[in-house]
Amino acid sequence: MRVDKFLWCVRFFKTRSLATNACKTGKVKIKGANIKPSREVFPQDKITIRKNQINYEIELLDVPTSRLGAKLVGLYINDITPKEAFEKMELLKYSKDYYRKKGVGRPTKKDRRDIDDWFEEKVEANETKVEDKGESEKE
């Protein structure tokens, strides 16, 4: 079975074209070597897949005949991904700039509230200055 079809069958990718593109861009490797989407896979092959900033490592146990249900995937692959890869992803989630760089795109709710508070402070400061000038001119 082709590697792109295999990755689609075991539900690593939602569509076969996504699996094909991953192979073409070097995100899928067998035994450390970049592969083409048409490469045949066999039982006992070790496949490394880079997806969502995690390097998944799987061992092929058997070749399925068609796309599998999610519960049956464990019969065909053995996930040997190190736990450190998932822990690293958790740490990335907690970093501030993981989702959006500051100042890029639409402001978050918190950013918008901070901006509103800043404007209110400026307006109040200007109003007090105007009132102070008005009182000093009357005297």
State whether 45 and 109 are in the same domain: no
DSSP 8-state code for residue 96: G
Q: b/e for 47-76, b at 16 or more Cβ within 10 A?
A: bbbeeeeeebbbebeebbeeebeeeebeeb
Question: For residue 120, what pLDDT band results from cuts at 50, 70 and 90?
Answer: confident
| Average confidence (pLDDT) over 76-99 | 77
State whether 121 and 62 are in the same domain: no
- Supply the pLDDT for residue 19: 92
CATH of the domain at 26: 3.10.290.10
DSSP 8-state code for residue 73: G
Is residue 24 over pLDDT 90?
yes
Tens-digit pLDDT profile for residues 64-73: 888 888 898 8
Is residue 136 over pLDDT 70?
no
Euclidean distance between CA atoms 36 and 19, whole angstroms: 11
Report how many domains make up the chain.
Answer: 2
State whether 71 and 110 are in the same domain: no
State whether 50 and 81 are in the same domain: yes
Is residue 97 over pLDDT 60?
no
Is residue 21 over pLDDT 80?
yes
State whether 92 and 123 are in the same domain: no
Question: For residue 54, what pLDDT band results from cuts at 50, 70 and 90?
Answer: confident
Range of the domain at 106: 100-139
Q: Rounded to the nearest 10 degrees, how much is the dihedral formed by the CA atoms of 104, 106, 109, 112?
A: 80
- Supply the pLDDT for residue 123: 80
- By the 8 A CB rule, do 50 and 41 touch? no
Question: For residue 15, what pLDDT band results from cuts at 50, 70 and 90?
Answer: very high
State whether 85 and 41 are in the same domain: yes
State whether 73 and 28 are in the same domain: yes
- By the 8 A CB rule, do 47 and 29 touch? yes
- Supply the pLDDT for residue 135: 61
State whether 115 and 81 are in the same domain: no
52-to-28, 40, 45, 92 alpha-carbon distances in Å: 13, 24, 22, 11
Euclidean distance between CA atoms 73 and 64, whole angstroms: 9
